[in-house]
Structure 1
Amino acid sequence: MKNRSFYIFLFSVFLINSAVFSQTRKELEFQRIKYKTVIAQLNTLLFNEKEKEKNALDDLRDLQLKIDARNKLIETINLETKLLSREIVANQKEINKLDKKLTDLKTDYGDMIFKSYKSKSQQSRMMFILSSQNFYQAYKRLEYMKQYTAFRKKQGEEIIVQTTIIKGLKDSLLGQKKIKDALLLSEINEKKEIEKDKSRQEGLINEIKRKEGKYKRELQNNIKEDKKIAAKIDKIIKDEIDKANRLALAKAKKNNVAAPVTTKKNEFILTPEAKALAAEFEQNKGKLPWPVRQGLVVRRFGEQPHPTFPGISINGTGLHIVTSKASSAEAIFNGEVLNILLGSGGTKNVLIRHGNYITSYNNLENTFVKKGDRVVTGQEIGKIFTDKVTGKTTLIFVLFKNTTRLNPASWMLRR
């Protein structure tokens, strides 16, 4: 019984170790699936459409996103393969150890059966008991025979248990080797795809070098235009804050109540209701939903060096999110439509107020809300514009606290 307990303990340890490995491997498997999904989205959202007028800078940026995702996928596959190799080695060692123990068990059991066979007759057993010198000795001999029979039975059961454990380990080992082979094949295929992407990348870089002056001028013009748009939005928000504050003060005066105050310029005067909404918005930091069902961030928040032209920086006022055609922008929190702005190309920008926070949903083809409307989390507020030339559907999402821009990625659920 003691030996059996020992083997069951060994098997339990194996299962626990497998659970620990499996949990880590499950995390890596999740990451691997995530990166494969990202690559599929990149192909669908950025490379499916044939552009009428190609922009090598945009293509180069998109291609780099895909190469980065493939590199992360390969890195994850490598980690998963190494972990599998450790599992395979550990399991093989355990199998070898248990095989030896099984051999020893079978040898002992065989010897026991042989000895039992030699003295198996009922007469010899009876004579063994009857030849006792006294009753106590006869009782002891009878107990010995019972214990011997029970021990032999336990030894047989032990062999069955040990054989089952080894079979389970060998089946697990076979499964691990198949998974490892599949991962290695996947890694080879991903590396081939990266080589193709790098070849295309090299062609784009050569094209940009040939027309460097043209692309630099276009880039600098785009940066200037972005600054103008940002300044225009800043002014509109300041005007809206001023208008909302004057309205709050006039309402307080009309109702003959103490006027709410603010100590800083360009900050909303918050009513108790607005203050509660702002507090709730803050409490949900890191848990807010994204403004699109699915999408990829192609430009991050903040100032960043241009990946192609040294010395030129681009400033992301928010997140540029590419999504699928006919997608709608969705409110990330309860609030009120502060204003709807019209862009130079006819696109629209919906500003939604959440206490003293504002979310901006820019580059909409049309809107489903109007100024003053109350909106709820997840409500569709407008269809996102699809560029007829590039075929890309891009939402520009910006987050403000009063007039200060914040990084939206820090406030929303991690993807």
Structure 2
Amino acid sequence: MPAKSKHWLLVVLVAAWLGVPAPSGDAQAQQRQRTSSTRRRGTAPKSKAQLERERRATLRRIRETSRILEQTQRQKEASLGQLNALKEKLTVQQGVIRNISSELRYIETDVQQTEQQVQQTRQSLEQLKAEYGRLIYSASKTANSYNRIMFLFAAKSFNQFMLRLRYIRQYAEVRKAQAAQIAGTQQRLSQQLTGLQTKKQEKGSLLNTQVAEKNNLLTMKTQQDQVVTKLSQQEQNLREELAKRQLAVSRLDNLIAERVREEIARAARVAAARAAARAAARERAARAAAAAGRASDAPSRTYSDASPEEAAPTRTDRVTLTPETAELSSSFADNRGRLLWPVSKGFISQRFGRHNHPVLKNVVVENRGIDIQTSAGEPVRAIFDGKVLTVANVPGMNNIVMIQHGEYFTVYAKLRGVSVSEGQIVKMRQPIGTVYTDPDGTSEVQFQVWRNSANLNPENWIGRR
């Protein structure tokens, strides 16, 4: 047998005699699984933090709705405002419960992963202890100096002697490393068990919270049923209120349509006057040039020489925009879906379009905008820069403010007081009045968005809360 082959055979036999184990495929797979789990745990807290933020936001909405509900409950009689507040609170409460369920699923998954990690760590610890035991047993065979010396001098060559000497030194280092690894694994196991206990306690606390929130939901459903029953007994009053509201809505629609028509006509007159003034100025310049003997150099004016504003026919279906109002209009459109709410707190109590009456059967109501129920005395603010086009009072809608944003218009109705005047330039977030509170204790603002004569859904324009 060649000397090189004998050398490698000797190394293999020595390693086998000492019982030094090589990392098994199972151990390597467990390590990869632990690494993968660690990476997953590194991204998990972001999802949990997001759930917690959503829960805090939902609880804040519940507190706001509860305050609004309390104001409507101060009156002895049930009202639609009270019913709307209860519906909103129920909706938000259901969101809280869904959020808690998501958190529970997250924690349950985390607990299962931690339990698996604990089991894998225990297996690794048992394997390390067994390996360490084999090392100790092998070391006992060469426990005294005589055996180690005999092992060294039994070498058949100097190279073999050096290999055995290096092996003895490395063997001691392996034992120390193995002991340190066992200690580290035990510490990791202890930390995992502590974390597992914390997660189980968190899960138990969240389960108790979920039960409490479900009980609150049942209580609110009972209150809602009671209010619906009381309102059903007031059918005649509800029909009278609905008739008054429809009349007020019709008056407001007529006012908005009239103001939009007036603004379209006014803008057209201004554009025509500007075009005529520019045409007259050019005509005077041409005559002056002709009188100075330079008539041949002055180009004859044709229709194509007119500016785009002059060349365009006068529109009767939309506002004729100047460069400034066109920029404002474009900016308003660019902020679609991100515009402010007209009030800083509250909820949508009646949505845009046609929908069934909340109590009266087979009765359909139509809303040109959205009704936002809020707290008494809440300031109403402009959602975007613009010019106050109209300040008026409409019976059934109280004070209204209409603001122009180029070819867009926003309408704020059901105001108690108004703090702006017609023609005033307002900025975004600027207060324009305060919300009106009716005798039932309901504080509600009616908000509409128009583009020229087209009625738009405000929910598509304001941001999410």
Q: TM-score, normalised by structure 1?
A: 0.90
Distance 1:287 1:160, change over 3 A: farther
Counterpart pick for 1:178 among 196, 201, 207: 201
SS of 2:242 mapped into structure 1 = helix
**Distance (Å, rounded) in 1 between the aligned partners of 2:443 and 2:80:** 17
2:294 corresponding residue in structure 1: none
Per-residue deviation, residues 26-58 of structure 1 (Å, max 9, x unmatched): 333333223222221110122245434634333
Q: Please report the RMSD computed on the Cα atoms of aligned residues, expressed in angstroms.
A: 2.7
The answer to whether residue 435 in structure 2 is matched with residue 412 in structure 1 is no
Q: Following TM superposition, by how much is the alpha carbon of 1:403 offset from its aligned partner in structure 2, in angstroms?
A: 1.7
SS of 2:182 mapped into structure 1 = helix
- Where do residues 131-170 of structure 1 align in structure 2 (5 Å cutoff)? 131-170=154-193
The answer to whether residue 298 in structure 2 is matched with residue 248 in structure 1 is no
**Distance (Å, rounded) in 2 between the aligned partners of 1:374 and 1:120:** 96
Distance 1:188 1:64, change over 3 A: same
Distance 1:395 1:206, change over 3 A: closer
Distance 1:27 1:96, change over 3 A: same
Extract unaligned runs of 5+ from structure 1: none
Q: Following TM superposition, by how much is the alpha carbon of 1:8 offset from its aligned partner in structure 2, in angstroms?
A: 6.2
Per-residue deviation, residues 322-376 of structure 1 (Å, max 9, x unmatched): 2333332222222222222223369422222111111122222333322222222
SS of 2:383 mapped into structure 1 = coil
- Where do residues 168-247 of structure 1 align in structure 2 (5 Å cutoff)? 168-247=191-270
2:413 corresponding residue in structure 1: 362
**Distance (Å, rounded) in 2 between the aligned partners of 1:263 and 1:51:** 55
Which letter maps to 1:335? G
Q: Which stretch of the first structure deviates more once superposed, 300-309 or 162-171?
A: 162-171
Per-residue deviation, residues 125-162 of structure 1 (Å, max 9, x unmatched): 23322332221110110121233223223322322332
SS of 1:26 mapped into structure 2 = helix
1:302 corresponding residue in structure 2: 353
Distance 1:106 1:318, change over 3 A: same
Counterpart pick for 2:77 among 54, 60, 69: 54
1:106 corresponding residue in structure 2: 129
Task: Give the conservation status (yes or no) of the 8 Å contact 2:267–2:321.
Answer: no
**Distance (Å, rounded) in 2 between the aligned partners of 1:245 and 1:67:** 50
Distance 1:226 1:22, change over 3 A: same
Per-residue deviation, residues 96-131 of structure 1 (Å, max 9, x unmatched): 122111111122213323432453334432332233
1:37 corresponding residue in structure 2: 60
The answer to whether residue 413 in structure 2 is matched with residue 390 in structure 1 is no
Q: Which stretch of the first structure deviates more once superposed, 318-327 or 116-125?
A: 116-125
1:278 corresponding residue in structure 2: 329
2:449 corresponding residue in structure 1: 399
Q: Following TM superposition, by how much is the alpha carbon of 1:7 offset from its aligned partner in structure 2, in angstroms?
A: 6.7
SS of 1:273 mapped into structure 2 = helix
Q: Which stretch of the first structure deviates more once superposed, 93-102 or 123-132?
A: 123-132
The answer to whether residue 166 in structure 2 is matched with residue 115 in structure 1 is no
Which letter maps to 1:73? V
**Distance (Å, rounded) in 2 between the aligned partners of 1:200 and 1:127:** 93
Question: Percent of pairs identical after alignment?
Answer: 26
**Distance (Å, rounded) in 2 between the aligned partners of 1:346 and 1:228:** 9
**Distance (Å, rounded) in 2 between the aligned partners of 1:49 and 1:218:** 17
**Distance (Å, rounded) in 2 between the aligned partners of 1:326 and 1:202:** 29
Counterpart pick for 1:312 among 363, 374, 391: 363
Task: Give the conservation status (yes or no) of the 8 Å contact 2:248–2:394.
Answer: no
2:149 corresponding residue in structure 1: 126
**Distance (Å, rounded) in 2 between the aligned partners of 1:357 and 1:391:** 32
Task: Give the conservation status (yes or no) of the 8 Å contact 1:284–1:411.
Answer: yes
Task: Give the conservation status (yes or no) of the 8 Å contact 1:7–1:162.
Answer: no
- Where do residues 319-334 of structure 1 align in structure 2 (5 Å cutoff)? 319-334=370-385
Task: Give the conservation status (yes or no) of the 8 Å contact 1:262–1:268.
Answer: no
1:84 corresponding residue in structure 2: 107
The answer to whether residue 36 in structure 2 is matched with residue 18 in structure 1 is no
**Distance (Å, rounded) in 1 between the aligned partners of 2:219 and 2:433:** 38
**Distance (Å, rounded) in 1 between the aligned partners of 2:242 and 2:76:** 16
- The size of the alignment, in residue pairs, is 414
Q: Following TM superposition, by how much is the alpha carbon of 1:232 offset from its aligned partner in structure 2, in angstroms?
A: 2.4
Extract unaligned runs of 5+ from structure 2: 1-21, 280-305
Task: Give the conservation status (yes or no) of the 8 Å contact 2:248–2:395.
Answer: no
1:374 corresponding residue in structure 2: 425
Q: Following TM superposition, by how much is the alpha carbon of 1:267 offset from its aligned partner in structure 2, in angstroms?
A: 0.6
Task: Give the conservation status (yes or no) of the 8 Å contact 1:262–1:269.
Answer: no
**Distance (Å, rounded) in 2 between the aligned partners of 1:163 and 1:196:** 50
**Distance (Å, rounded) in 1 between the aligned partners of 2:365 and 2:48:** 39
Per-residue deviation, residues 235-258 of structure 1 (Å, max 9, x unmatched): 222222222332232233234474
Q: Which stretch of the first structure deviates more once superposed, 2-11 or 126-135?
A: 2-11
Q: Following TM superposition, by how much is the alpha carbon of 1:2 offset from its aligned partner in structure 2, in angstroms?
A: 6.7
